[in-house]
């Protein structure tokens, strides 16, 4: 055997990505598949897809003369690391309570770990991405929702192992702010997620601030997406630009409060919606400056994640490599 | 020699407390003195007072056959631990930039450490108080301002050593909230400190919500204190009760956000204003429940600090004992 590889799997709401990852972070990707077929949303069906992807990657490893020691699963939601099951997933509710990691381990006879997708993102970015060499930082993923993770003292912070940690998306940035899917009001996620962009565009139409153009047409036809809001902002639409300004304002406020409490000054922001970086980073810095009293805001470093979808794959593989659900010193 | 003692000193805005502390946390207190005389607010004068108190405590130790290995200083404000100086103190501005620890060390020929008063409080409560055996928790001190500290993984968290950390008082709980002494708007301190109680009472008078009684008379005569607001609340005054409800609301919101991000569930609240515990703890729990989405709020434990003024003395002595400015595993 030439060495050990791990399998990293990112189980998203719509797609399942899997890859073979070697000790140096080299990646051999399995073709992306759907997380579930339209008429078959069962944990057992997902397990079958996982087994198939892992077996294919194990064969790939064997052909290269390598062995697969462990599999790491990244899933959005509250995770019970010890049981290897999802306590609550907003994207894959039919998976709640199913001991996916244990079942996969039984079938493959290989050690399987499971962690939150934002934690996997952070471990990946710490290993090979934007956070290399930074001991203390806040990780933020901007997607349909807002995920988060903390790296403290060079390690993924896992708190009291309550099934969640780093959930910056559910910090309250404005108690009078808009409702959040979690049931609270004024969470960061309600200001700074893909969902918040879409809801904001619908509200702009209802309030008469958005009365025409591509975004208006999409909203009326039910085809509104975060990407559409982004394209409208790129073409100068004031209502769309205001939504990204609000996103930056909320991110800057949340990070200012966290930097004040943690006594740190680095954040790494990734996720699909972070592609709109140029639209929110200016307002973010302005808000960080406005809301910082202890930290000199000029010393804050807000970094754009480097690895895209590979961060979660690398992170999941890395987390599995350690077998304990905690990240290694970067 | 029967053993080693450390001197802990708490340098407050008005009073200077010093004590001999032994390895078991036994305390031998020096009489409290004023931090400065009315007409002599100079660092050199404070140094003289410190030298006198420490020399007296060293003699006390020697009479008991013990040696003094180190002195720990606790001061409110931004602290440069390495230089042993105060970067910025809201209470003792004339001390800013003076290398107090170095000067004292030179004079006494004993190792001297310096840290923030909220950090000393937390190390004391972790060692002998309400936080014994709790690895991860948020410390809050309610006084004229709101101080804070974090214990993570059984140790005092010192972040990136930027001169501040744990500053929960300057988390923003409501961006539309009242102005804070730090220059920002809506900080926890602007809702939950002794100053906030007094300012709130004055605002209640201006708005016609408080039109008579002891609190009204005190405010008109310029004798308003946090204690007076507390006594009014105790006797059922609605305006005073509302101020403590706002305090609890803001504390609950800030702790909910921090518990969400840190994945933890313990806090210890101390400081002089925490004597009004029964007036704000109910609203605090109600707010924590209202603002928690990830944590089951029934599992949160909000503890009242146990050591009073001794926490900072014990903590300062303990921090000096370690010589590194970080707390020992509890």
The ipTM estimated for the assembled molecules is 0.94
Asked if the Cβ–Cβ distance from A171 to B291 is below 8 Å, we say no
Q: Between residues B47 and A205, which one has the greater pLDDT?
A: B47
Asked if the Cβ–Cβ distance from A162 to B187 is below 8 Å, we say no
Average pLDDT, chain A: 93
Interface test with chain A among B160, B174, B287, by most A beta carbons within 10 Å: B160
Residue B325 pLDDT = 39
Integer Cα distance of A217 and B18 in angstroms = 72
Mean pLDDT of A185-189: 97
Asked if the Cβ–Cβ distance from A264 to B162 is below 8 Å, we say yes
Q: Is the pLDDT of residue A324 over 80?
A: no
- Check if A262 contacts B (Cβ < 8 Å): yes
Residue B1 pLDDT = 54
Question: CB-based contacts of A203: which residues, under 8 Å, 6+ apart?
Answer: none
Q: pLDDT tens digits, residue range B93-113?
A: 999 999 999 999 999 999 999
- Check if A263 contacts B (Cβ < 8 Å): yes
Mean pLDDT of B44-49: 96
Closest-CA residue to B300 (of B315, B316, B287, B311): B287
Integer Cα distance of B27 and B128 in angstroms = 12
Residue B288 tokens read as 């924590």
**Among the listed ranges A15-19, A35-39, A186-190, which one has the minimum average pLDDT value?**
A35-39
> Under a CB-based contact definition with an 8 Å cutoff, are residues B111 and B319 in contact?
no
Integer Cα distance of A137 and A262 in angstroms = 9
Percentage of residues in chain B with pLDDT exceeding 70? 97
- Where in chain A does DSSP place strands (E)? 3-11, 15-22, 27-29, 33-34, 66-75, 78-80, 85-88, 111-116, 137-142, 146-152, 155-156, 266-270, 301-304
Global confidence as pTM: 0.95
Asked if the Cβ–Cβ distance from B162 to A253 is below 8 Å, we say no
Residue B294 pLDDT = 93
Tokens 């009291």 belong to residue: A160
Integer Cα distance of B59 and B159 in angstroms = 37
- Check if A219 contacts B (Cβ < 8 Å): no
Tokens 């390598």 belong to residue: A66
Q: Is the pLDDT of residue B244 over 90?
A: yes
Which residues of chain A neighbour B258 with C-beta distances below 8 Å? 261
> How far B268 CA sits from the closest chain A CA (Å)?
15
CB pairs under 8 A between A and B: 139
Q: Is the pLDDT of residue A137 over 90?
A: yes
Question: CB-based contacts of B208: which residues, under 8 Å, 6+ apart?
Answer: none
Asked if the Cβ–Cβ distance from A262 to B150 is below 8 Å, we say yes
Residue A210 pLDDT = 83
Residue A1 — pLDDT band, cuts 50, 70, 90? Answer: low
Mean pLDDT of B245-268: 98
Query: To 10 degrees, what angle do helices B194-206 and B238-262 make?
Result: 140
Q: Is the pLDDT of residue A325 over 50?
A: no
Residue A312 tokens read as 């979660």
Residue A175 pLDDT = 97
Mean pLDDT of A297-322: 94
């Amino acid at each position: 055997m030439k060495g050990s590889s791990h399998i990293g799997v990112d189980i998203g709401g719509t797609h399942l990505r899997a890859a073979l990852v070697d000790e140096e972070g080299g990646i051999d990707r399995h073709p992306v598949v759907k997380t579930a077929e339209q008429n078959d949303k069962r944990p057992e069906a997902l397990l079958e897809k996982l087994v198939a992807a892992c077996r294919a990657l194990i064969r790939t490893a064997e052909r290269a003369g390598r062995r697969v020691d462990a599999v790491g699963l990244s899933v959005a939601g509250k995770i019970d690391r010890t049981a290897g099951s999802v306590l609550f997933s907003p994207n894959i509710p039919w998976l709640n309570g199913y001991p996916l990691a244990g079942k996969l381990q039984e079938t493959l006879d290989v050690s399987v770990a499971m962690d939150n997708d934002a934690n996997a993102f952070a471990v990946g970015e710490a290993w090979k991405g934007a956070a290399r060499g930074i001991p203390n930082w806040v990780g933020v993923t901007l997607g349909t929702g807002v995920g988060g993770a903390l790296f403290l003292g060079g390690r993924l912070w896992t708190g009291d192992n309550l099934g969640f940690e780093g959930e910056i998306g559910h910090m309250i940035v404005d108690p009078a702010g808009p409702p959040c899917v979690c049931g609270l009001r004024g969470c960061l996620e309600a200001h700074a997620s893909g969902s918040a962009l879409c809801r904001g565009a619908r509200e702009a139409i209802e309030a008469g601030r958005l009365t025409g153009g591509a975004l208006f047409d999409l909203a009326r036809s039910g085809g509104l997406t975060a990407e559409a809001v982004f394209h409208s902002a790129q073409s100068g639409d004031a209502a769309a630009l205001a939504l990204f300004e609000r996103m930056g304002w909320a991110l800057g406020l949340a990070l200012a409060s966290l930097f004040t409490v943690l006594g740190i000054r680095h954040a790494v922001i990734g996720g699909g919606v972070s592609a709109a970086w140029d639209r929110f980073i200016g307002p973010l810095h302005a808000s960080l400056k406005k809301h910082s009293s202890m930290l000199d805001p000029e010393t804050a470093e807000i970094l754009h994640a480097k690895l895209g979808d590979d961060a979660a794959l690398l992170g999941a593989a890395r987390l599995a490599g350690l077998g304990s659900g905690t990240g290694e010193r970067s």
